Amino acid sequence: MKPAWSVILFTTLAGAGQGLFLALVARDLFGGAPVAFVVCGAALALGLLAAGLVASFFHLGHPERAWRSAVMWRTSWLSREVIVLPLFMALVAAYGILHWMEWPEAALPVTVLATIACLALFVCTAMIYACLPFLQEWRTPLTVVNFLALGCASGLSAAAALAAWLHPPLASAYVAAALLVGAFAYLARLAALARNARLRPKSTLATAIGVKHPKIVQIAQGAMGGSFNTREFFHGRPREMVRAVRWSFLVLVFPLPALLLVAGGNSAAVLSGAFLAQYAGLLAERWYFFAEARHPQNLYYQAIA
């Protein structure tokens, strides 16, 4: 598949915002945090979600019709995502405002609802890809696990950096959580890579064009130029680049950030660098996630793809 940067930015930015919100909620469960830290964390989470939402609009041919994407909520995971995302953003905003006004009684039900919406958004986003039976690389529960775990890992890294800036005593707890969740996310992503490496195409050139013959050789695409199919369902990059992207995210998603998290202590600059390095790795990981998926239609368009 062809990676779309608008979708890559949306899924990584929104995932980091969701993970940061869950990190704030976890701190509420295990002990109170300073009001300034909670409010700034909620504002940063909301900013990441808003940035992701803006990026997603560049994926639309007619942004003015975006509201129509919600009408198929009964059957479409994309429609459900479109509904849950603004709801979650509104709840995060309410969460931050109520903590700023120091209304814990009112903040509790909002926190519960926002947490449910956050997890639902993770599921909706991941299921857009995991529900597609013809893309074997995505059709696995590991897709949902990876979206959730990688989002939480990046959110915890952001929380550690934010704590180092605003309330250093919290930083060590967030660093430990970021290392633990990051290690799990890394292992889950490695499991997905190992699974996908063993996959074999279910379709053949014969089934792709509906011709039952034991030996079929394609010598031309049958068209003078490219088309939507040849542009949107294949990334068009050489194998060397795809391998380089894979190795880059394998280094940046966890090993390098983990090294910085361990060595950084309570240094705000180092912990911020860990988050930025991890986010760069997430961009590479999400690009590879899309590029790795082999659409069956490329069996027919192999002469051009």
Token pair for residue 105?
């009684």
CA-based nearest residue to 48, from 261, 268, 282: 282
Residue 305's pLDDT is 44
Residue 258's pLDDT is 97
128 φ/ψ sector (left φ>0, alpha ψ -120 to 50, else beta): alpha
- The percentage of residues in the chain with a pLDDT greater than 70, rounded to a whole number, is 94
What's the pLDDT tens digit per position in 249-292? Answer: 999 999 999 999 999 888 999 999 999 999 999 999 999 999 99
- Whether 48 shows a pLDDT value over 90: the answer reads yes
Residue 222's pLDDT is 57
CA-based nearest residue to 37, from 232, 211, 229, 173: 173
Total Cβ atoms within 10 A of residue 190: 12
Contact in structure between 278 and 154 (CB atoms under 8 Å): yes
Residue 139's pLDDT is 95
Looking at residues 10-36, what average pLDDT do you find? 92
In sign, the C-alpha dihedral spanning 41, 43, 49, 54 is negative
Residue 135's pLDDT is 92
What's the pLDDT tens digit per position in 164-179? Answer: 999 999 999 999 999 9
Model confidence band, residue 9 (pLDDT cutoffs 50, 70, 90): very high
Residue 266's pLDDT is 87
**Sole residue written with tokens 């942004």:** 63
CA-based nearest residue to 180, from 8, 18, 26: 26
pLDDT higher at 111 or 208:
111
- Give 230-269 as a DSSP string: HHHS-----HHHHHHHHHHHHHHTTHHHHHHHHHHTT-HH
pTM comes to: 0.92
Token pair for residue 61?
């041919």
Helix (H) or strand (E) holding 132: none
What's the pLDDT tens digit per position in 60-86? Answer: 777 767 777 788 888 999 999 999 999
- Whether 54 shows a pLDDT value over 70: the answer reads yes
Contact in structure between 158 and 19 (CB atoms under 8 Å): yes
Residue 68's pLDDT is 76
What's the pLDDT tens digit per position in 93-145? Answer: 999 999 999 887 888 999 999 999 999 999 999 999 999 998 999 999 999 99
Q: Does domain 5-213+226-299 have CATH number 1.20.1630.10?
A: yes
Residue 289's pLDDT is 97
Integer Cα distance of 20 and 86 in angstroms: 17
